[in-house]
Structure 1
Amino acid sequence: MYSFLRGTRPILGAMILAATTVLPVKPAIAVEGGIGAYFIGTRDTFAGFVPEAGTYTALTFDHLNGSVQGLSLGGLPIAADADVQLNLWRLNVTQVFDAQVFGGTPAIDITLPYVIGDLSFTAIRPPLQGASISDTASGLTDVTVTGLVGWHRGNLHFSTGLSVFVPTGDYQTASINVANRTINALSVGKNVWSFQPYLAATWFVPERGFEASGAISLLVSEKNDATDYQTAPALQLEGAVLQRFRSGWGVGLAGYTYQQLDDDSGRGADALKIALGASSLKARVSGIGPIVTYSGGTLLGAEASIKLKYTHEFSAKRRLESDIVTAQLSLAF
């Protein structure tokens, strides 16, 4: 079983890291910027499994196409329906140690993300009323470092860890050019430290090829001093159910739900409430879609795995609602 899981685990390493992760890359919305430091949905297959000692790498590409009704970017409240596109590349490296901590296997995960983001909307208020606005940003975003420990009890595998999102990505407050009817608001960084403790579990029956995985996490962020915007803590639930076959292929469903536990605060949040005529900025979103995996190949002398996933988000409030396509290549050395 462990040889099989070793082939698919780089995906998990990438996910755990990313999750715990990662993904710090998003334009700055209630959840300032409309999306949090963690790229939700990263923990899906083998979410709770920590593999044997070794080095695991994963390269993940996400294409996100979404929209939001009102957002705050770089301190600028935008009271308009906005479209956002993101192309995100994440290089994930996980080192699993040949040691024990509290009877479990320790590991560390680092995620290096690069993003290209595009924003477009039609301004509905002066001084740019009626103008078609677009903005683009690209670059290396916030690095994520995750420490974790995993345990095995028969078919049950579980882990816990803490992800730290480091504000290494470029960030700027918004500016408006009235003469040219343009804005400069997108940033690749979040300008805040964020922390995400998580607990994940995987139930895998190798003789049947059945897997059920799930994770729960809490994302807590510092206040953005540049915009005086405090994003409230958010609870995230993620999971996946897959059937794996002897051919190496697996198919299933993956999904998640995100819910802020309180309202955003600070002068930046108050300005957005006034612009939107909203009494609260508490955000939520859910997503679900098919997932396909393959393990058993080799590349560059390493065991290789791939993952393809499509996620449709729904029931979004005060947060970006998107369709997301994910492709991932994982290598276990």
Structure 2
Amino acid sequence: MSNSLNLKQAKNLNIAFTKIFLSYSIALVILCLSPANGQLSSTFYDKTCPKAMSTIKAAVKQAVAMEKRMGASLLRLHFHDCFVNGCDGSILLDDTPNFTGEKTAVPNNNSVRGFDAVDTIKSQVEAACTGIVSCADILAIAARDSVVELGGPTWTVQLGRRDSRTASRSAANRNIPPPTSSLAALISSYGNQGLSTKDMIALSGAHTIGQARCTNFRAHIYNETNINSAFATSLKANCPSTGGDNNLSPLDVQSATVFDNQYYINLKSQKGLLHSDQQLFNGGSADSQVTTFSTNQNAFFGDFTAAMVKMGSIKPLTGSKGEVRKNCRKPN
């Protein structure tokens, strides 16, 4: 009788432990899959702010309609944000007497723009649902919508990022590759962010839209030989050897406001505006991929969208980390 009771107790105890273990395991799986623990999700705002995507899309459409260049500017903001301590909206923070942000870093100062457009988008999203959608996510969505608005491909944006309360001017200077970069430096810079050489070449195709300042391509057109001479001459009138630092030229002179594969066609003709652009087709390891993208726009679009999703997933703040800023320019 005693042995029978002990066996029954042991069996019940075993069942109880099994249930506890299974419950713990299921909870652990759910925890690991939860967006609150580093996992981004395309449906993050479906219930909390169902109008978020349509609101941002309409605002981007209006901003690009007012100024075609704004599409490139919004796309660039997302890139410059993600390369500095992850995609956390840090680039949007204004300097204060006690705080120096990223806007005055060398790659951003008098160059990165579109902050007013982001403010407008944020205010419209806040009107739709207060305190729900982060500035970092707005940048990611606006980048996608800008590309689409200019004729480029779409992709599913992963969401759930939160905003940082700090920024790093030194990291911006260190991590964002300058227009003087060599191919090796570009590969290294992107590699440090977990992005492959193919990702780098595809993401560089964002230069099929937008403009650059004379100071960023002067040395390339006056001092270098890996540039079409007629193309270099055509640029000198608007970019003198001295002065005119802020004069603008399109990165893709053929179709500056259309998102296509013309950038790579230009590189094959030695018509890359920046030194770093032409480095992608200069007898090096990137030549083959540039050739593929120059002849196959669908291949470029596919690799670009995949790289954008990958870049958008660099070290996001999720769960209880960071915050959702009410004003993208300052912490709450």
The alignment's TM-score, normalised by the length of structure 1, stands at 0.23
Higher helix share: 2
Asked which structure has the greater CA Rg, the reply is: 2
TM-score, normalised on structure 2?
0.23
Greater relative contact order (CA < 8 Å, ≥ 6 in sequence): 2
